[in-house]
Amino acid sequence: MRFWNPGSLMVAAICLCSAWVGATEQHAPMTRWQKIDLPDYRIVFEPELRSEAERIASYLEFYVPKMEQSMPVSLRPKRIPILLSSSSHESNGYVAVSPFRSVFFNQPAAFAAEDWLKTLSIHEVRHTIQALQPLDTNSGRILTTWFGESGSAFLNVLFYPAWFLEGDAVLEETLLSNGGRGRVASFDLWRRTHELSQPRYDYFRAFLGTGYDSYPFANHYELGYFLTTYLRNTYGDRILDDILESTGEFGLTITFDGNTRKLTKDSLPETYEHAMNELHQRWKAQQQAMTLTDIDPLWAPGRKAWRSYYPFASSGDTTWAIRHGVMDGTWLVGIENGREVRIRQIRNTVASSLRGTAKQRSISKGDDQVCWINYHADARFNLQSWGDIDCYSLQQDRLQHLTQRQKYTSVAVSPTDRYYAAAEFTETRDASIRILDASGVVVQHFALPKHAFAFDLAWSADEQQLVFVQLDDEGFSIRQLQLASGQQRILMAANHDQVPRSPVFTDQGVVYSSDYSGTDQLWLLPDTGQPQLIVQRPYGAYFPNWNATLKSIVFADYQSHGQDIVTVPLANLSGIEKDQVLPVRTDYFAPLQAQRSDNPLLADITPPEPQDHDVSAYSRWGNLVNINNWSLLFSGQSASATVNSNNLLNTVGMSASAVQDFKHHETSGSFSLAYRRWYPVITASVASDFHVQTDKQDVERQWRQNTRNVGAYVPWSWQQDYQQLQAVAGVNLSFSDIDGIPVRDDIDNQPSGELVLWKSYVGFSQQREGAQRDFESRHGWVAELGFNQSVDEWSDFDKQQYWGSVKLYFPGFWLTHSIVAEAEYEEQQGDDDFLLPNQFEPARGFLDTLTKDQGGRVGLEYVAPVGSLSWRLGRVLYLKSWQLSMSADYETAEYQDEFEDRWSTGVKVALPSHLFSNLSLQVNPYVSTYLVDGYKMQTIVGVGVSNE
């Protein structure tokens, strides 16, 4: 065992500021906050959003008692904070720990069918109720007592399937509102299509996936919705709470699966089969009720993996589309005369709007301009984000940023490129449609009702009208806006019976997609008369476009391999009027909803008007300390205690620890602080540690180290078109001393003393967005430079250290393959009595680190995802897929004028897997074999663990 030396004091200091931290989850530093305190929740918000916070408070008072009917909460340690993040411009929300909190993002989602904050108040607050369930168990209470929030979170992560957490929340949002994803046909599109056209996956592959499935990824939201709904339909509304009562408790049925089997007599795989059998019959009947429309394929190429085409414009013989696939990412393409032309790469966020449940039309074309919304966050404070208009000129091959730091959510380019229509949703939740000229100046402004959300805008051919979908408290409506007068005509009254999308003008009226019939199909709104169902396809028809030259509708026809582009002349279609259409909806939640109708508390799902609540200032300083995790551990000869604090706004983190060594009657302790409110993150720490080490002669050596660190760094992270960039720059000053360290005879002298070290470093990375199956980046680079310098006036040693590294990523010989080239160099100067820690890992295949004053390494690696496995080792390990990499390294080192070099070549097989069939517990077991120095074989077996 190598003896510890003064230089290794720097390990803690150097690791204190990670070189790659990225922008932190924070709001702008000058943001002011207020709060509303309810008995069990605290709503924290900006003053401008007081009325919205009042609405959330009223929603919680109305919905929480209803949700606790099916999942009671027996113990709440403290108020749960809900942070209303109005400055973030994305449709999301989440619950997290350290600290335990929920965050509501501002922008509505096009699938909600209700007020967005109402949907979040049900879905996310249901997650807080789930997170408290471990406190109903003895093990959960014990773990929480000893470890704080992380104790109950441990049970959540280890024992609660991710499909249960999300599926149960989706079911609640569906039962307690007139919206919810359980009512949206596109929510189950992938699984429904696979079930009706391909052999059924087993439970484990359906849940955990392989990355090589017939859909882009395994969606545990919709799987969980079906499984939780089946369980509650079949065994009663409280079955999930009954299952959780013993989940995580020590005993024979500690697992979620075991308790499900005990209460229902069916395992989870059997439960899955029962649910899918029911759904198969419903989906089959739904499909058999269709009268399928004959179509002409426009572009349906063969595929080796899932790839979808999303048409957004069609004229003459040319159709423009977004191509999105799991092997090649997102591209703007043109389809002409049976030939596909790849035009340019597009950000994956454009495709995510098209691909997801919302099926929101996120891109538009005029004459030459193709435009979309560029969602981007502040480089330092990433909870401050915007939606701006980016436009690409097909003729000039040039990208233009038309607006800067606006809050747009949808854009449509006029046919002549003269104007841009953009839907806006502001931080104060005000909605409008703005008309911009070619330079980005707003020339017209049309206010919409408060909280309304407009999307899928489209121009008329004469540029005098717009058609769009509006979502508000009353549901979805289709509206026509006369630009000259500002008058709106309601083409479809607001309702909760359907989700309309992608309206487009034609010569016979407005064509749009809707799931009114039970699946997404194409409808016509004629100038007079009822809406008509005009196109029916087996799994769904999406994104209609009007080709005025050919008088045809060009649209996306979903299949198991992705969406094809098809066309049909509008004149050839005979519509079925809406009152003649008998909807065949899945509505899997309906039996449970009927069961709950006898309970007056659950039957009423219409919240009252918001009530006034007491509002007070939320003090940053008063809430600076927020202890959320701790531990108290004992061993045979020592006891240790740790306390961690992180405040709600993520601006201050603190950690303190103490260790008592009973044998030597010595105490160690440490305290660290990170202040993140402003642009530089300020870090500080102090530590006094007692060390004991026994050498090969069983001689016990004792010493004490004392360290003090203070530092600052600035992390940046930003998006530039389809490139992700990160940068960091930082400095750190470390004071270290050692008292009582002995001198060893068999190595260089290592005296006691003091060392004051100044560290500075910079780093930068640029990565192009890749495809879903990419294991490594295929385009990009990472570079880092650093310098350590002892401060002579305060140090007993003179030491300098320099280091740098660069890593380059290139495409491999096939899609998803990568070539990684890297080089590293470091050098130390000054006193030879000790060495500062090496900055880099040893060459691949070697377990020891070369001692060096200077040296470096170059390496080359070829990384290739290979294919799916879907293997199980009982319930312990699920092997998803396997990946292969081949590498070659060469490393040199020079120490006290002695030169040493070594090299290795090797092969590594990695098996991305899930532990205990849990989506949150991803492990990567691997085995690698290296030929080192030309004659010796070195085999390394290991496993990496990550919490997704």
pLDDT tens-digit series, residues 92-133: 999 999 899 999 998 999 887 889 999 999 999 999 999 999
> How far is Cα 74 from Cα 62, in angstroms, rounded to an integer?
19
pLDDT of residue 798: 82
Position 752 confidence tier, pLDDT thresholds 50, 70, 90: low
State both tokens at 522. Answer: 């194409």
- Domain extent listing, the chain: 34-289+589-617, 296-580
pLDDT, residue 762, reads 97
Which range is least confidently modeled, 52-56, 86-90, 259-263?
A: 86-90
Mean pLDDT value across residues 875-882? 93
For 161-165, what is the mean pLDDT? 97
User: For residue 664, what pLDDT band results from cuts at 50, 70 and 90?
Assistant: confident
Each residue's pLDDT tens digit, 145-156: 999 999 999 999
pLDDT of residue 815: 93
**Whether the predicted pLDDT of 10 surpasses 70:** no
What is the percentage of the chain residues whose pLDDT exceeds 90?
Answer: 80
Q: What are phi and psi of 269, to 5 degrees?
A: -60, -35
936 vs 252, more confident:
936
296-580 topology per CATH: Neuraminidase (2.120.10)
3 band by pLDDT with thresholds 50, 70 and 90 = very low
Classify 34-289+589-617 by CATH class. mainly alpha
CA 767/CA 724 separation, integer angstroms = 5
pLDDT(179) > 60: yes
Structure tokens at 775: 């294991």
Q: Which of these ranges, 405-414, 495-504, 736-745, has the smallest mean pLDDT?
A: 736-745
Instruction: Report the chain's mean pLDDT, rounded to a whole number.
Output: 92
Please tell me the least confidently modeled range out of 17-26, 568-577, 802-811.
17-26
From residue 823, alpha-carbon distances to 360, 793, 857, 899, 931 in Å are 44, 35, 6, 19, 20
Q: Is the pLDDT of residue 507 over 70?
A: yes
Alpha-carbon distances, residue 810 vs 505, 560, 770, 816, 844 (angstroms): 45, 31, 12, 11, 20
Nearest to 565 by CA among 584, 548, 586, 543: 543
pLDDT of 746 over the 50 cut = no
Question: In the structure, what pLDDT confidence band is assigned to residue 794 with cuts at 50, 70 and 90?
Answer: confident
Task: Say which residue, 230 or 690, is predicted with more confidence.
Answer: 230
pLDDT classification of 903: cutoffs 50, 70, 90: very high
| Position 548 pLDDT exceeds 90 | yes
pLDDT above 60 (res 266): yes
Averaged pLDDT for residues 639-668: 94
- Residue-wise pLDDT for 425-448, tens only, equals 999 999 999 999 999 999 999 999
| pLDDT of res. 832 | 64
Residue 770 has pLDDT above 70, yes or no: yes
Q: Is the pLDDT of residue 690 over 50?
A: yes
Residue 784 is inside which H or E element, if any? strand 780-790
Q: Residue 262 pLDDT > 50, yes or no?
A: yes
Q: What is the mean pLDDT of residues 400-415?
A: 97
478 pLDDT tier (thresholds 50, 70, 90): very high
Q: How far is CA 845 from the centre of its chain?
A: 34
The sheet that has 552-559: what strands, in order across it? 296-299, 562-569, 552-559, 541-547
Is the confidence at residue 348, as pLDDT, over 80?
yes
Cα 404 to Cα 390, 397, 442, 506, 679, distances in angstroms: 10, 21, 13, 33, 21
- For residue 26, which of 879, 534, 676 has the smallest C-alpha distance? 676
Could you give the percent of the chain with pLDDT greater than 70?
A: 95
Q: Tell if the pTM clears 0.85, that is, is over it.
A: yes
Distance CA 853, CA 748 (A): 14
Alpha-carbon Rg of the chain, whole angstroms?
30
Q: What is the pLDDT of residue 756?
A: 83
Q: What is the pLDDT of residue 2?
A: 27
Question: Which pLDDT does position 751 carry in this prediction?
Answer: 52
Q: Would the CA dihedral through 408, 409, 414, 415 be positive or negative? A: positive
The predicted structure's pLDDT at residue 917: 85
User: What single-letter amino acid sits at 407?
Assistant: K
CA distance 272 to 266: 9
Cis check: omega of the bond before 99, within 30 degrees of 0: yes
